[in-house]
Structure 1
Amino acid sequence: MKQKLVAGILLILTIFIFCGRVASQGAGQQTAMRTEPPMKGHRGTKFYYSREINPFYPELAPYHRTRGGYVTGNCTWYAWGRVCEMRGSKLEHVFTGDAGTWFEQNKKESCYPYGQEPKKGAILCYKTHVAVVEDTDPLTVSESGWKIENKKSRIVFHCGEPWRKEEKPLGYIYVTEDD
């Protein structure tokens, strides 16, 4: 009887410890800064390379052929995938149109909170581009696809100071649960 009680307690403790580790690993993976582009087939990229999750895949994903060249990771494809990755779940609302419409569409439809202050996990919106805030001090973003290549090449990706630092953003859309 004593052995069964001890075994039961040990089993329960093992389950709690295991679940705690799995939860903390998942949270760490979702919020770790992305400093490399999401490559198809690599760990943690399901939010980028799935039509069921990312409405911008495959048409705006890397290596899609257009009349003018290859899209090597459009900003809308990347931003959608990145904020879903940070949240650990798909966004409820689908932004339609190009990047320049996201801020006003969100504001008009009251989908997510928005404002002028950068917050980790927020979508940074410009007139023609979107990026994702990775950190606020200093402001660090990850972004992709601000140009089209004439041939297949690696994803056009950047993590660091916003490349459009001279352009005033329209604002930020707060889509992660931290905001």
Structure 2
Amino acid sequence: MSTADVKSNAQTRMNKSIETLRADLAKVRTGRAHTGILDHVMVEYYGNPTPINQVANLTLVDARTIGVTPFEKKMASTIEKAIRDADLGLNPAAQGDTIRVPTPPLTEERRKEMVKLVKSEAEDAKIAIRNIRRDANEQLKKLVKDKAISEDDERRASDDIQKLTDKFVADVDKMVVEKEKEVLTV
């Protein structure tokens, strides 16, 4: 293993942390309807908890309403109950074969809670990035100990990893600012 391998491994793992944060932030409600809100809703399907998108088709009916069409008609009441029990502040209503899920406008208090959630998710991502930096630095120290690289090479690689860390933390901050603005916009 070389310093280049350590750096590329760290960069790959940091990219994955950013992608995870992006996916987590997509699930945070902003006042507009989007099917990502229901991504983590699990439906009891023949005794197994199953993601809602595997038992129903999710669509946007309009800017504030999500349409949920079960693949099996008998699942409608189970899906409706799962959405209601998911503690998302949503109140689904069956309408023929489709379940309509209106997203109520966010109150100021709820928006502030969402911002706190966004900041919490961002802090988790920053911690993950810093842990990756620590792991990479430990790998570099091990390479020096095994006499695979010189201390100068370790110092240079360590500086590069720190620059990488700073870049990814800045990306996280930028994503948080954008999401915060999106959540607070009425």
TM-score (normalizing by structure 1): 0.33
Name the structure where helix makes up a greater proportion of residues: 2
> Radius of gyration: which is bigger?
2
Higher RCO, 1 or 2 (CA under 8 Å, sep at least 6)? Answer: 2
TM-score (normalizing by structure 2): 0.32
